[in-house]
Amino acid sequence: MILTIREKVTPEQLRQMLEEHGKIDYVKFAVDVELGILAGGGEWHSDCEEVLLEEGSEQRNVWGAGWTWKKREVAYDS
């Protein structure tokens, strides 16, 4: 399950994304930096990216990232 989020992430949404594919402390996501939309919970960053592109995001505006629960740290790349 990949969630598309347009507002602040809720604890329940975060829990759902963390549980995807058996992960317990890391979430993969993609963000459309122009529209402020996040897609998260996929096995791969590209899964999340695909959801955003299907919803109308432009490739040049989409960045992949990950969030580590324990460190409360975001790592990102293009």
The string of pLDDT tens digits covering residues 19-44 is: 776 667 888 899 999 999 999 988 88
Residue 78 has pLDDT above 70, yes or no: no
Q: What is the pLDDT of residue 58?
A: 97
Across 14-21, average pLDDT: 79
pLDDT higher at 64 or 23? 64
Which stretch of DSSP H or E encloses residue 69? none
Q: Which domain, by its residues, includes 17?
A: 3-77
Alpha-carbon dihedral of residues 77, 10, 32, 6, nearest 10 degrees? 180
Gap between the Cα atoms of 71 and 49, Å rounded: 24
User: How do the residues of the chain divide into helix, strand and coil, expressed in percent and rounded to 5?
Assistant: 30, 35, 35
SS3 48: helix
Domain count, the chain: 1
Does pTM top 0.95 for this prediction?
Answer: no
